Structure 1
């Protein structure tokens, strides 16, 4: 089937969802969805919608008179051999189709189809082996035929209308196909035919169908003049079905796609998402408690205020801008550099190669990323904080593995769960070396820094950065940015005016003027800077550890779980959206395919 001409936008969405399901890894619901979407897409590729032959398949249990009904419908006695004594008598599919349409059916030769040359006006009627017989190879043949069917005719008889095994097979195909229902051998219950019909309808409703006279027929293959036989034959061999064959094939693809997006699959994804949301909230609460406990120590409180103050100065420069912003930025950079030299001296005090390397890396790391001030608070919070953070990370990874969600996790976590370094394989060693090569700055830093504290520093930086930005916003609102820049801007404008006028008049100013201008500019920055420093002291003095605890919304330690939650949520949204579009398309096809010709379940069925 051409993807370019058949619902191209919808098919692309199905393919995208299939790729998402494949990336989900070992999640059961996603695996089922991927398998079924793959089958739907393969059907789309292999089933030519332009072939003007409608495949109508008779499906039923042993002894219900399928073959007799087949013979009666095509008007050929014993075309499909029948027997009243031998069970499972039909062991091959019998196909009634015209000679010119036979090559178009493309039935696999291994099914050994037996063809009967009958012109049914573009219809191919197929009698299949019993679906509940003792010969299981017959089940395989029947299912292979039903898989290729455009319309399935479910045949039963009064005494067999409640058989569990046949109903299970019916349920398995229910959402994938369009259906007719035939209660054969009605002559055996002619006296109570109305009650039998009502009971049959009730059982079909229990299976999720909505039977009516257009799709449910009470008939007798041996008494064709009575009951609904003529109306049934007219409906089955309706020429409008042939005219609508492309729409039938489209509906078949939608049926397989609908099966992939069943309520059971969606519910399983929703339940898994709910678990992830709850666990993410639990981890976030644990991290807040870790901060709360660690920052109770006086040394940690002091370090906390110092670090937040430095971060706030850094972000304040971006908010204030212009000339005052440069002054604030220089102040923030100088503070970070001094802290770097302090750590460097500590490292050099050991007088060994490792100490020298550690100090050098510390200085570079501080200059490039400004992380050395964070080491103060990390040290003050003590080793228990680091142990708790690592425990939370390990718990998060185990949770994702237990819930089969590592396929949704960030790449690093997925790789770590798919390769076991302990197995000594070359692949594991190669993957480990590749991981170091791809992230060598962090690996070097963690290797040289005592205790491997690089990740904990990043966790603190992420959470404290948010608090630093909030403090900078409080200290330097936009009206204050205007006020603090007025005086230096006026001095700078006056100096530039004097310089420009002197150059135009060719009366060049002495060097002393430039020195005086720079001095006055620096002095003009002082009032605004002092105002900002006063506001910063007040804001930082009011800071309490609970402020950090309250500000933690997306801690770095829970990033894998948060990423899984976001990706799983997107996966579920796309699934639900695609189902909604699919149902709308099927409703539109219902209006275009001949009315009262087929029926589908009116409610979701079990997988």
Structure 2
């Protein structure tokens, strides 16, 4: 149950942060963020319980936040503050972007998606302090005098682009930004997308400003008031709001006076110290948002462990009855079945294996006749082994079927179905182990025969070995242990019940092997749960990071 590794996971996070971090935030912040990133990457939520999908999505956003913004920014604090101009299709953000620069730097027009390539513009005077990072890697970098010093303007693809790669890039660039300049329109500000994006910004503690574009003059006051009310309802009362009036159909740049308020606001952020304040404010906001994310993720991990414990309890509850049924099924002497009975009739007629003479309580036979009987009984042993294997396979199959019902049927513990191994693979593994176990059981009869012949029945056993051969006698004992009435009647004639103890030993051994099959089935499911991700202390690393974050914030 492993998760796919994406390009973010491959990005190196080693190294040291910008030296200025020690003054602004403290060197420890980078170390904590780096360790948090490692522990979050290690988290797995294998059980599909309630909330797991949401927690996994949150985990992905947290990794993105660390990879795309926090860690790079902590290492590159001196690089200009990145202001991302973002919005939905047709919001006019590329036109606004170009108008702020006073030149068409980013492609704008009626063809959708308009923004095919992200554009990241820096002031030429900042060239020496620009550091490579997620935003520069994903964008076309330009240097333009229209960008205030200490800041960088990033025109991102549409958040709702019909091209999935554009949507992914837009989200990654938002994560990399220090400030979001979100552009929407008078006709679309009530859509879900703007508020989803703004909620995401609030979730990660980002600094945000908003541009309401193309607002008809006659409704400007009403729309502005409505939007301000919505911002208050979302807890965003401090978000700067800029209103750009509708100028009607046009091509090219907006008039300078139309975008002057936004341009003035950007210049207020300009300069190394003021842009540093923007960066640090967003970093502190992001750090302040982390404890809630980490707490939720740690709780999700702990819920996984609790769900696993309930699944284990449900499985273990089945063990006593399953073991008892397996043992008593063999003890009942019903293993042999019709195939063994048919083989006996064949051997009785052709090889006359049961036609032996008893004199003075001892079987009498020549060695030559004994070798023939032994050769004939090879086929019987194969049938006994096959019957034993079928019995054990059936026992394992019943346990698997029962576990499937317990873990997926009515009243099943949450996530139980995910603990079930692949049925086909399980069947192959079960049969392979059972064949080996039955072969070992069959081979063990040689020791039983040797022990039987070393006791008070030595004379009878020696005579029986002569009459049937050592392997033939072993086959008769195995067949009797498996429940062959014919083999049992012959052994009674030969031993007058003296064979009962060896047969009992073999039957008990087969019963324990059936119990082992039950254990294998239960353990196959328990083994799926035997992972550090579902251990009682699986969230301990996250809890340590959480404590460190709380000390910092």
TM-score normalized with structure 1 length: 0.46
- With a CA cutoff of 8 Å and minimum separation of 6, indicate the structure with the bigger relative contact order: 1
Q: Which has the higher helix share?
A: 1
TM-score normalized with structure 2 length: 0.49
